[in-house]
């Protein structure tokens, strides 16, 4: 099922975040150290997953997507294993089937290679060992180890770990002893990475980039926008999971009150809180909810099967499910059966920037030498990944960051608007500007790629001349302009 649903996406261009991970992974393979040599604000496991894939298969979109598909299949297996512990064999099978279908959804970026797609496997393994940890301290250690690994893949995994901590604290003295084992396991990967970066002279940069920097994202929180995003994504991609999960929540709280089911419910609520604190609420943030929604939905379906309602009630329920599935399918079917990989990228985001950046990057790749740099501004990080050229500094993603959101109704009327500004520390912006000037003056950057309208050409060329070189237009694709350095 997952292979069939993910095949159309195997050649889709990398989006901006993925390209950033890929660029850092290329740097790792070239002997560079994350954070010290390349500034990015994600935790390190995602970079090393990419680096491992590139080392084994080469740095290609296809093999990255292919390995992500295999990862999703492993995740489905653990959805089944967790479901079996909570809901027996039938519940496990239903949960795994739902995950295989809905985790491939377009509107949660299910086929993409984001940190969320990798993190959920570690969280499920942690939950699996925690559920089976009664009188088994080693299982608690393993639950902690995989919780720590998830935390080092994406920061929001800390909330799921806190759920496990809370359930152990409720159990009193025995829970405190178990908490010690869980915490020891959790610290394994954070301590290991901290020691590594300490030996590489990158510990301070690691803490600043992976943790402190992300507090600037939290400043963008908006309850109104979060509610709008979760409603739109649910309506487009997995409304049936949300409705079944809400029913499950009421049944668990008002009727069953089973410890493990309450754990699953809290686990889900804290995941929602993790998405909520993200600030920007991109589609792929919501992917982490899919496993728990599938498990809760399976619980509701099992209750319905066992309830033995009348024929009319069953018929209405089945018709409702079919209608919801048809509504979801008609929104997504073109992505699976109609669109090319390039059209998938355009229709997913409403723009073709990732495709254009891939084309520009591959063209630059054929022109640059290994010791030459390129400088890109207001351009997705994919320009570095596809060109195989390095940025002459640390701040390859460019600062400051801004994101604008617009929602229109069917008649084109603007119904929601929000501008995000990540309020970065002044010193970071100054360092970024300094690197740009150094790249032009001292690093002799071969190509400069800007997102700039044609009327600004002369203004930008005059800026370049200040550094003793002429940069002349070399290539134009969509909104992006490539300038090549010529000696004065």
Torsion angle in degrees (nearest 10) through CA of 16, 21, 27, 33: 130
Same domain, 202 and 258: yes
pLDDT at 407: 40
* Residue 471, SS3 per DSSP: strand
The first and second tokens of residue 64, run together, are: 């990255």
CA torsion sign for 312, 318, 319, 324 is positive
Same domain, 178 and 261: yes
Same domain, 202 and 284: yes
Cβ-Cβ contacts under 8 Å for 81 (sequence gap 6 or more) = 92, 124, 128
DSSP letter, residue 310: -
Same domain, 77 and 218: yes
Same domain, 328 and 182: yes
Rounded Cα distance, 377 and 452, in Å: 9
Token pair 């800026």 is found at 463
**Cα angle, residue 261 at apex, residues 260 and 262 outer, rounded to 5°:** 90
Name the residue range of residue 218's domain. 2-337
CA atoms within 13 Å, Cβ hemisphere of 89 = 0
Same domain, 155 and 293: yes
- Residues 290-302 have a mean pLDDT of 94
Is residue 199 exposed (0-12), middle (13-18) or buried (19+ Cβ within 10 Å)? exposed
Same domain, 173 and 35: yes
In the predicted model, is pLDDT for residue 445 greater than 70?
yes
End-of-domain residue from the set 285, 304, 337: 337
Same domain, 304 and 431: no
pTM above 0.75, yes or no: yes
**Cα angle, residue 25 at apex, residues 19 and 27 outer, rounded to 5°:** 110
In a domain, 263, yes or no: yes
In a domain, 198, yes or no: yes
In a domain, 345, yes or no: no
Same domain, 45 and 127: yes
pLDDT at 219: 59
In a domain, 440, yes or no: yes
- Residues 459-477 have a mean pLDDT of 70
* Residue 402, SS3 per DSSP: strand
User: How do residues 114-128 score in pLDDT, each as one tens digit?
Assistant: 999 999 999 999 999
Same domain, 186 and 309: yes
Rounded Cα distance, 168 and 172, in Å: 7
Mean pLDDT of the chain: 82
In a domain, 65, yes or no: yes
- Residues 384-389 have a mean pLDDT of 89
Q: What band does 226 get if pLDDT is binned at 50, 70 and 90?
A: low
Q: Are strands 447-451 and 469-477 parallel, antiparallel or unpaired?
A: unpaired
DSSP letter, residue 276: H
Rounded Cα distance, 391 and 379, in Å: 13
Is residue 254 exposed (0-12), middle (13-18) or buried (19+ Cβ within 10 Å)? exposed
How many structural domains compose the chain? 2
User: How do residues 20-64 score in pLDDT, each as one tens digit?
Assistant: 999 999 999 999 999 999 888 899 999 999 999 999 999 999 999
In a domain, 6, yes or no: yes
Measured N-to-C along each axis, helices 157-170 and 137-151 cross at an angle, to the nearest 10 degrees, of: 150
Same domain, 380 and 330: no
Q: Are strands 447-451 and 414-421 parallel, antiparallel or unpaired?
A: unpaired
């Amino acid at each position: 099922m997952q292979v069939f649903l993910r095949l159309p996406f195997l050649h889709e261009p990398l989006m901006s975040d993925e390209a950033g991970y890929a660029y850092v992974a290329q740097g790792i393979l070239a002997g560079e150290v994350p954070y010290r040599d390349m500034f990015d604000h994600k935790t390190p496991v995602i970079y090393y997953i990419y680096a491992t894939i590139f080392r084994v298969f080469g740095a290609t979109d296809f093999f990255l997507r292919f390995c992500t598909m295999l990862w999703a299949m492993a995740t489905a297996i653990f959805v089944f294993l967790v479901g079996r512990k909570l809901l027996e064999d039938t519940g496990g099978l239903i949960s795994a089937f739902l995950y295989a279908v809905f985790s491939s959804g377009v509107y949660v970026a299910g086929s993409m290679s984001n940190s969320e797609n990798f993190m959920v496997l570690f969280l499920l393994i942690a939950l699996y060992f925690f559920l089976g940890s009664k009188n088994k301290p080693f299982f608690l250690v393993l639950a902690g180890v995989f919780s720590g690994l998830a935390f080092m893949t994406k920061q929001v995994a800390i909330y799921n770990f806190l759920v496990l901590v809370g359930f152990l604290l409720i159990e009193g003295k025995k829970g405190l002893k178990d908490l010690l084992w869980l915490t020891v396991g959790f610290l394994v990967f954070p301590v290991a990475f901290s020691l590594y970066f300490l030996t590489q002279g990158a510990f301070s940069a690691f803490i600043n980039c992976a943790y402190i920097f992300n507090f600037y994202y939290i400043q963008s929180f908006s309850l109104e926008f979060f509610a709008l995003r979760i409603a739109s994504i649910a309506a487009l991609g997995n409304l049936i999971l949300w409705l079944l999960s809400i029913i499950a929540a009421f049944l668990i709280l008002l009727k069953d009150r089973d410890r493990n089911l309450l754990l699953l419910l809290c686990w889900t609520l804290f995941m929602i809180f993790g998405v909520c604190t993200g600030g920007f609420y991109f589609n792929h943030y919501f992917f982490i909810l899919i496993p728990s929604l599938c498990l809760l939905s399976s619980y509701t379906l099992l209750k319905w099967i066992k309830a033995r309602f009348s024929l009319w009630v069953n018929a209405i329920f089945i018709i409702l499910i079919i209608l919801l599935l048809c509504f979801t399918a008609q929104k997504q079917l073109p992505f699976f059966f109609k669109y090319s990989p390039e059209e998938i990228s355009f229709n997913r985001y409403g723009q073709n920037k990732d495709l254009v950046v891939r084309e520009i990057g591959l063209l630059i790749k054929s022109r640059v030498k290994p010791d030459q740099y390129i400088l890109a501004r207001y351009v997705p990080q994919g320009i570095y990944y596809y060109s195989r050229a390095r940025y002459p500094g640390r701040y390859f993603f460019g600062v400051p960051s801004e994101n604008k959101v617009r929602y229109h109704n069917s008649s084109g009327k603007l119904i929601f608007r929000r501008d995000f500004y990540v309020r970065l520390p002044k010193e970071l912006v100054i360092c970024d500007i300094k690197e740009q000037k150094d790249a032009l003056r001292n690093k002799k950057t071969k190509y400069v790629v800007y997102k700039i309208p044609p009327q600004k050409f002369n203004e930008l060329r005059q800026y370049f001349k200040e550094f003793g070189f002429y940069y002349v237009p070399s290539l134009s694709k969509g909104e992006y302009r490539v300038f090549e350095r010529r000696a004065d």
